[in-house]
Amino acid sequence: MFGSVLSMIITLRNNSRERETIFENKPILEKVRDTTFPTQEMDPAELQAFREKLKKRKRRSDIMLAIFTVSFFALSLFFFLRQTQMI
């Protein structure tokens, strides 16, 4: 009985402690590989450039996903039709 109460107290204590978020200014954030979050205030021109960079990355990843999906379905259809003709 006391073990479960103690574990509840420890859990509540751990949940109530202060946590740091990724958006706070940290020097470690710059060392992380390929981090795109800004670590300080930016002027409007830098913010616009940052947004454009994110849009280009998103567009590229969407195009790659579309190409992969279409290729997968085309190959699946090809092998399905090929297999049904052999039977």
Look at the pTM and tell me if it is higher than 0.75.
no
**Where residue 30 falls among pLDDT bands split at 50, 70, 90?**
low
Q: CA 43 to CA 50: how far, in whole Å?
A: 11
**Where residue 59 falls among pLDDT bands split at 50, 70, 90?**
very high
For 26, other C-beta atoms within 10 Å of its C-beta total 13
Q: CA 35 to CA 22: how far, in whole Å?
A: 10
> Could you tell me where the DSSP H helices lie in 24-43?
27-31
Phi, psi of 72 (to 5 degrees): -60, -45
**Distances 54 to 3, 11, 57 between C-alpha atoms, Å:** 49, 38, 5
User: Is the pLDDT confidence value at 77 over 70?
Assistant: yes
User: Is the pLDDT confidence value at 87 over 80?
Assistant: no
